[in-house]
Amino acid sequence: MAAVNYTIRLDDADKKSAEQVFNQLGLTLAAGINVYLKAVARQQGIPFALEIERTPRQRLQDAFSKAQAQSAINGTDKMSMTDIDAVIADSRQQV
């Protein structure tokens, strides 16, 4: 395999942080980058998940959607709060 030189621009803090990790693993920065490139080639993609961080509002909307879906499964999606209160009261009397 022929070696090639390639120049990239890095944030200095990111470079230093990565070098510390690679040093702990017994690797140079160049070796660590080569490991990453080989993993990309082997997996035919980025070797880790790339995700967009969800905002608290988005997480709340997701939770609300899941709760709505679960209530449809349970059959409680058509119930009023009065109906739900009555079911709870009945279940308490049965205990």
Range of the domain at 73: 56-94
Same domain for 63 and 88, yes or no, is yes
Q: Work out how many domains the chain is built from and give that number.
A: 2
26 within a domain of the structure (yes/no): yes
pLDDT tens string 11-37: 999 999 999 999 999 999 999 999 999
pLDDT tens string 40-70: 999 999 999 888 888 999 999 999 999 999 9
Composition of the chain by helix, strand, coil, percent to 5: 65, 0, 35
Is the pLDDT confidence value at 38 over 80? yes
Same domain for 90 and 60, yes or no, is yes
Find out whether 79 and 90 touch, Cβ atoms under 8 Å: no
Is the pLDDT confidence value at 1 over 90? no
- What's the whole-model pTM score? 0.54
18 within a domain of the structure (yes/no): yes
- If you compute the radius of gyration of the chain from its CA atoms, what whole number of angstroms results? 27
For the chain, the average pLDDT equals 92
Same domain for 88 and 61, yes or no, is yes
Same domain for 86 and 60, yes or no, is yes
Same domain for 61 and 89, yes or no, is yes
